[in-house]
Structure 1
Amino acid sequence: MRKLFWLAGALCVSLQVTFAQSQRYPIIPYPQELQAKPGVFAITPATKLVLPEDPSPFVTETEQLQLLLTQALGKPLPTVAKASKGTIVMRQNPALAGEEDYTLDVSTGQILMTAKTPTGFFRAIQTLRQLMPPSIEDARAADLKLISIPAMQLKDHPVYGWRGMHLDVSRHFFSVNYLKKFIDLLALYKMNKLHLHLTDDQGWRIEIKKYPLLTSQGAWREFNNQDSVCMQKAVDNPDMAIDTAHIIHKDGKTLYGGFYTQEQMKDIIRYAAARHVEIIPEIDMPGHMMAAIRAYPFLACSGEIGWGKSFSTPICPCNESTFAFAEDIFTEIAALFPSKYIHLGADEVEKTSWAASPLCAEVMKANNLKTVEELQSYFVKRMEKFFNSKGKTLIGWDEILEGGISPTAVLMYWRSWVPDAPVKAAQHGNQVIMTPGNPLYFDGTPDRNAIYNVYHFQPIPKGLTAGEAKHIMGAQANIWTEYIPSEKRADYMFMPRMTALAEVLWTNRNHYDDYLQRLNEQYKRLDLLGVHYRLPDLDGFTEDNVFVDKGVLDVKKPLTDMTIRYTTNGTIPDEHAKALPAHYTITSPETIKLAAFSPAGNRGDIYTLRYRKEAYRKATVVKDARPGLKLDYYNGVFKSAAKIKEQSDSSMRVNNAIIPEGMGKGGGAFGARIQGYINVPVTGIYSFYLTVDDGGILYIDDQEVVNNDGWHAPFQKSGQVALEKGWHPVKLAFVEGGGGYTLKLEYSVNGSKLQPVPDSWFGAGR
């Protein structure tokens, strides 16, 4: 027993030390090597700066460091020639291996910062910045007299060279200022690539001087069905409102849109380059080109504009005028963007118009092409040769594998339901960037599992040898903006998820609990930077709650300085709503809306909690139950879990609420019903949490407990039920729309910790 107490005490001390170190060194991404030391170095207005022996390559980085210190101290540091006590020393170190490598040696008497390149110094400065108090981010704050930097020895370098974010500016448009803010956040967390999706069916966003109609017409649209969805959601969430800055009135029409002139884009590129972020342009073709075809109808095989079976009409790869158009565009793009990469897109191409075209039949015959997939490959390979002539490397979405891929193209993997795509590409010798939809599509609404899922993402796919794995350049997260109509909503969707990805790609070690502690230290900084991030999840309730005699709402605050406000009249809580008391008692059915607010006024998720009174549901007598549950499989497409057909195609037993591997082979759609009994060990209020992709409904005692129906990305919903100890009928209806599925069932009882439902609780009749 003494040994047990000793172990518990040792664990408690260990956790306290880890927490203290997370507060002292709240760096994201965490460095490869950090040796903590006692004491601090005090930066004051009297501190002096020692520049590298040859300062000329590092002028920009020196200015950035001085700007940071000026904002904190009120004036730049004086520079001196020699290192001594009380100095910050920047020293070039050619012996460091990588372009981004750096070291920081902080003692009570000096800070020594070394790097081989300007990029390395910039990364070191961002680490130093995160060690400074968040108040330095506020240019209006009073000048500090002293900044304490904790002593340490630090050696750092990234594991992956491609650490990226993607932003779709076509579906919804974002200002120049927002792109700069976005770049600043990438730089702060050592991300180094910004993939700009500049064109799509919904809008053309970059000026092309040879084809002015692309922006004078193609950059503007009347409100579409995606805008309508956003407007409807804006009733309950102001962040979903269409940004009025991008709305104009012309010729009696209300139009949405915008574009970047080439001069504006040059300014953005310069801004990013100074922060060591490379911008990769994407001009998506041959599909997703409706905005261009509307302006220049000759681009389509038949001149038609619209939608085929699945996607929009593509441009015609069988007409030389199409290639002339594309080459003209990419000539301007290649001259504008200094990146060695250009993204061609080449995904989701509707090929029915090609199959019906007599001209395409001639081109396919002349080039010995057997399928329209090979015709797409013909287009991609011709464009790649043109890119190469401009000194550029082609990137394409993973559909470029279909019909054959050249050995020099870079593949961007996104279709998680085609898991062998990155493996085939790497084995073929192609470079690969990982962007699988789950978990790296940040347009999927985040839930309590979102950060965990990103942090535990493994960039190297299964099935590669160590040599083949070297073809994985890194990864990026993608933000598609069909349903992201404002800058605040964009902030919410990618922050703080991006910080988890930053640590995966830079550090590539699992420090998850420590990461969460360091993330908590980042929120004040994000507040001062004006980031409308998603606040941490609140706990202590579900969407649908029950009570027997009375209920108590006891919300666990993840951040001590947040305020939780609530309403009971159906209105959305704002900064003037009442603060939720520590223990809010419910004695009759009611609906509560609540939201957390940061000290800066950033509002978190709006939770709607419905409370109803019910008695404990009586247990059922079940004799000779076999372990597990019965799963009925239904082949086909079902938009709703409530509308799965009656006759199953096959049945099997499963141990839990799981979908066995191999169902929906090839990423196909299907439905499933999992049913039997659940044996709860004690009488109590049970909370069930259902995470699904695409849709699912949980029933207990033939009554709906959690409704997470409809096609959507992985998302968790929850509900409560009052259960008497013993057996209760349980059923889970699940639908998968194609593209890879998620199904996870968790529970808590009487407010306990969230955990998976044990296999031993389930049983089925014989």
Structure 2
Amino acid sequence: MSNRFKSAFFFFTCLITGLSGAYAQQVNPSRYNLIPYPQKLEERKGEFVITTKTILVLPETKTFFQTEIQQLQSLVKSNTGQVMPVQTKAVAGAIVLKKNDQLKGEEDYTLEVSPKGIEIAARNPTGMFRGIETLRQLMPVAVENGGLKKIAVPAVKIFDHPAYSWRGMHLDVSRHFFSVAYLKKFINLLALYKMNKLHLHLTDDQGWRIEIKKYPLLTEMGAWREFNNQDSACMKMAIDNPDMAIDQSHVIHKNGKTLYGGFYTQAQMKEVIAYALERHVEIIPEIDMPGHMMAAIKAYPYLSCEGGSTWGPLFSEPICPCKESTFQFAEDVFSEIAALFPSKYMHLGADEVDKSSWKKSAECEAVMKANNLKSAEELQSYFVKRMEKFFNSKGKKLIGWDEILEGGISPTAILMYWRGWVPDAPVKAARNGNQVIMTPGDPLYFDRIPDRNSIAEVYRFNPVPKGLGQADAKFIIGAQANIWTEHIPSERRADFMFMPRMTALAEVLWTHRANEDSYFSRLKAQYKRLDLLKVNYRLPDLSGFTDDNVLAGKTLLKIEKPLADMTIRYTSNGTVPNLQSAELSYPYLVPGPGTLKIAAFSPGGSRTDIYTLNYKQQSFFKPVQEKDLKSGLHLDFYNASIKGVTNLPAKPDRVLTVPNVIIPDGLETGGKAFGAKLSGYIEVPQTSVYSFFLTADDGANLYIEGEKVVDNDGWHAPLQKSGQIALQKGLHPIEVKFVEGGGGYTLKLEYSVNGGKIQAIPDHWFKK
């Protein structure tokens, strides 16, 4: 490394210590399609070409980067057909790997490419691996397929390090099970995008997925089930979407029953752990207790207070925290888990516990009295704290979902925040000195159906919650996205749900603040790489239509391809479009009322969502004549749990005026269920067919001129539905009905005209 290069590096090292408030400078994203974007990238002219003659120069201690050297050699050999010759003396035209003890962080690295060679420097193997993955992304995407005789790499100078130490993904293998091969594929994608934590949710009510040798019934019984209501829902959806079909490789027939399930032996898990460690991904095991333990209790009924486990109003009956036999079981299980997983973390879960059986237990009454516990929440805290002491005795740190705050939290427990309707939870924990991992459901639950906004919402996510000062922000150690698999029954569906959303989170957590337009430009280049890696990612959304469309004269359907090499195909007979379906012309003349199903496909076979477009004939609605109207809408508010917008009560609990279709802050608090009706008029500025886009969590419907324009009813996660109506210029009656089932809500109404940009409705359009 030249002295000039060293000086620049040391200057930058000092500079980036305060980078959390800055934006990473973007340089020519078409040439450097890197995700996550480096903290600092300097463009250079020219390129270096790796050939069969390229030499690999190593540090004097050749074995220090041994695994990383093997990975780089494998990547090059799969293309050039030859292993690079190795030496320790620097020469021109070589790839040089250097150990640099002056770099501060475990994952810090520098990378310099010039026409004369490549140099990667790092303090330790993790940083070297991150640098090699950056080099891999700088290479042509065709390297993933192998067979390139020459590998051209653009010249560049990079100084890089992560903004957050916890950059994670969670995968629930309990609700639906995934093969060892898929776990390795998942790990490969984490490593490619510099994610470093894999949180495996190994147990839940629906299945126990890890072998525990002292308790063999956990997998003999607990790993298998007859098809449940979640499986049935997936089977129903599979009629229109093959990716929703139950994976038959996890179905067996035993004693006259059809059973779904599977588990990992400890030997298999050791193999996966070793594979992850080679790619510098840490696997964190979660054995969820005291709740979500039905699979274990069915195998060992004595674990609950009443013997056995049944479903309560929301959750299953938990294990009993008042029996020594329960603690013996828990300690035995976690002893095997601690020995199996080298991670310094173990996740206890401790969420969503139905404590009603504890309140009826004489044993629990005695334990509470003996320990001066005043509530069931304090009893759960007693269980968590006792388990934490046991974890600590094994050299492990306890992680728990944010419910561990209830009843009191120890100063050393790590809190994983997920309940968006309890916004002060991470703030309280951080102010208490507890480390916090951010996983709020919105936008980081990747089991929620993605839409056109999902990637941008992830990219705009700030791990530091509102209300947390700079001094306490250091306790936010990062974030992760969670994949709950109740309705993810196949590996293809899992790919679709988390990719490419994960790339946005990767950049948030590594770079912290970059450039959204640049990111989306770079993302387009990543799709070809994902094709070669056989990832069934979700393609960019198609636009220019709504779910329910109107015909008001000659109607042309104009769908521009977000990616040039996409193929858009359609059917008009109700069947699902596939690669053999007719290609949609541009523009397409809609022949008349009916239904079109549309999907786009990449050259690698990845597919967009399947869009169902309903068309009906409609004349333009004439405006109404009203005088003395004021700005805003009427809001009727209902303090009640209401299933469905058609069930709103006749009399509201509160009535007020609002400027738009947004529930005012503070009106609803604590994640409680409620209902709302917003009504008045919308004044449209021109005669046209208007498209409306209604996003809701839970359910909402839009009515204009008494017509149901958008039907987004029901209790569900954030979901966008859309519809059209033909309106003449002027005033038209409007009504939005909304129900929230509890646990945090979303309500957003947008519009477009003639397939144009989707945008917020201006407040001055609303009258009352």
Once the two structures are superposed, residues 152-175 of structure 1 have per-residue CA deviations (whole angstroms, 9 ceiling, x without a partner) of: 110000000000000000000000
Q: CA–CA distance in 1 between the matches of 2:490 and 2:88?
A: 49
Retained in 1: the 8 A contact 2:694–2:747?
Answer: yes
Q: Is the CA contact (8 Å cut-off) linking 2:698 and 2:716 kept in structure 1?
A: yes
Match of 2:611 among 603, 607, 614: 607
2:430 to 409, 426, 429: 426
Task: Give the Å deviation of 1:702.
Answer: 0.7
Distance 1:590 1:484 in 2: 31
Aligned mates of 1:676, 1:510 — CA distance in 2 = 41
Across the two proteins, how many residue pairs are aligned to each other? 744
Choose from 35, 56, 59 the match for 1:52.
59
1:476 aligns with 2:449: no
Question: For residues 143-202 of structure 1, what are the alpha-carbon distances to aligned partners after superposition, in whole Å with 9 as ceiling and x for unaligned?
Answer: 223211111110000000000000000000000000000000000000000000000000
For 1:409, the equivalent position in structure 2 comes to: 413
2:141 is matched with which residue: 109, 117, 134? 134
The share of aligned pairs that are identical, in percent, is: 66
SS at match of 1:626: coil
Alignment match of 1:71 (pick from 69, 78, 82): 78
Q: 618, 621, 640: which is aligned to 2:625?
A: 621
Amino acid at match of 2:371: N
Which whole-Å deviations, capped at 9, do the CAs of 1:434-457 have from their partners, x for residues lacking one? 000111011100000100110000
1:415–1:739 Cα contact (<8 Å) kept: yes
Equivalent residue for 1:116, pick from 120, 123, 130: 123
Query: Unaligned 5+ residue runs, structure 2?
Result: 1-24
Does the CA-based 8 Å contact 2:377-2:406 persist in structure 1? yes
Q: Aligned equivalents of 2:390 and 2:501: distance in 1?
A: 37
Letter in 2 for 1:47: T
Structure 1: runs of 5 or more not aligned = 1-17
Hey, what's the Cα distance between the residues in 1 that align with 2:183 and 2:401? 23
2:369 is equivalent to residue 362 of structure 1? no
2:468 maps to 1:464: yes
Q: CA RMSD in A?
A: 1.0
Per-residue deviation, 1:601? 1.4
Could you tell me which residue of structure 2 aligns to residue 22 of structure 1? 29
**1: CA distance between counterparts of 2:691 and 2:26?**
30
**Are 1:716 and 2:720 an aligned pair?**
yes
Q: Which amino acid aligns with 1:608?
A: T
Distance verdict in 2 for CA 1:309–1:569, change over 3 Å = closer
1:103 to 106, 110, 117: 110
Residue in structure 2 matched with residue 534 of structure 1 by the alignment: 538
**Given that residues 247 and 490 in structure 2 are in contact (C-alpha distance below 8 angstroms), is that contact kept between their aligned partners in structure 1?**
yes
Kept after mapping to 2: 8 A contact 1:456/1:510: no
Specify the alignment match of 1:33 in structure 2: 40
Aligned residue in 2 for 1:348: 352
Map Cα deviations across residues 658-689 of structure 1 (whole Å, 9 max, x no partner).
10011321110000000100000000010101
What is the TM-score normalised by the length of structure 1? Answer: 0.96
Residues 91, 115 of structure 1: 8 Å contact kept: yes
Deviates more, 1:517-526 or 1:305-314: 305-314
> Which residue of structure 1 lines up, in the alignment, with residue 737 of structure 2?
733
Q: Which amino acid aligns with 1:495?
A: M
Instruction: Supply the distance in 2 between the matched residues of 1:584 and 1:83 (Cα, whole angstroms).
Output: 61
C-alpha separation between the residues in 2 aligned to 1:505 and 1:437? 17
- Aligned partners of 1:19 and 1:517 also within 8 Å: no
Q: What is the distance in 2 between the residues matched to 1:440 and 1:223?
A: 28
Residue 21 of structure 2 aligns with which residue? none
Rounded to whole Å, the distance in 2 between the matches of 1:130 and 1:523 is: 12
Q: Read off the aligned partner of 1:321 and give its amino acid letter.
A: S
Matched position secondary structure for 2:29: helix
3-state SS of the aligned residue for 1:119? helix
Contact 2:693 2:720 in 1 (8 A): yes
In the TM superposition, residue 19 of structure 1 has moved relative to its aligned partner by 10
SS of residue in 2 equivalent to 1:281: strand
Name the residue aligned to 1:396: 400
2: CA distance, partners of 1:55 / 1:32: 29
Q: Which amino acid aligns with 1:508?
A: H
After superposing the two structures, state which structure 1 stretch, 706-715 or 244-253, moved more: 706-715
Aligned residue type for 1:463: G
TM-score under structure 2 length normalisation = 0.96
Once the two structures are superposed, residues 228-255 of structure 1 have per-residue CA deviations (whole angstroms, 9 ceiling, x without a partner) of: 1000000000100000000000000000
Structure 1 residue 569 corresponds to structure 2 residue 573: yes
Counting only pairs closer than 5 Å after superposition, residues 167-566 of structure 1 correspond to structure 2 as 167-566=171-570
Distance between the aligned counterparts of 1:145 and 1:391, measured in 2? 49
SS of the equivalent of 2:494 reads helix
Q: Post-superposition shift, 1:20?
A: 8.7
CA distance in 2, matches of 1:79, 1:413: 48
| Contact 1:282-1:345 at 8 Å conserved across structures | yes
Tell me the distance in 2 between the aligned counterparts of 1:352 and 1:380. Answer: 18
Give the C-alpha shift of residue 136 in structure 1: 1.1
- The answer to whether the Cα contact below 8 Å between 2:27 and 2:43 also exists between their aligned partners in 1 is no
**Residue identity in the other structure for 2:759:** Q
**Counterpart amino acid of residue 65 in structure 2:** F
Q: Counterpart in 2 of 1:749?
A: 753
> What corresponds to 2:672 in structure 1?
668
2:188 maps to amino acid = D
Corresponding residue SS for 1:266: helix
Q: CA deviation at 1:304?
A: 3.2
Q: Tell me by how many angstroms 1:639 deviates.
A: 1.5
**Cα shift at 1:81:** 2.6
SS in 1 for 2:452: coil
The corresponding residue for 2:22 is none
Structure 2 CA distance for partners of 1:660 and 1:482, relative to 1, 3 Å: same
The residue type equivalent to 2:467 in the other structure is: G
What SS class does the counterpart of residue 40 from structure 1 fall into? strand
* Counterpart in the other structure of 1:3: none
Provide the rounded CA distance (Å) in 2 between the counterparts of 1:254 and 1:662.
Answer: 50
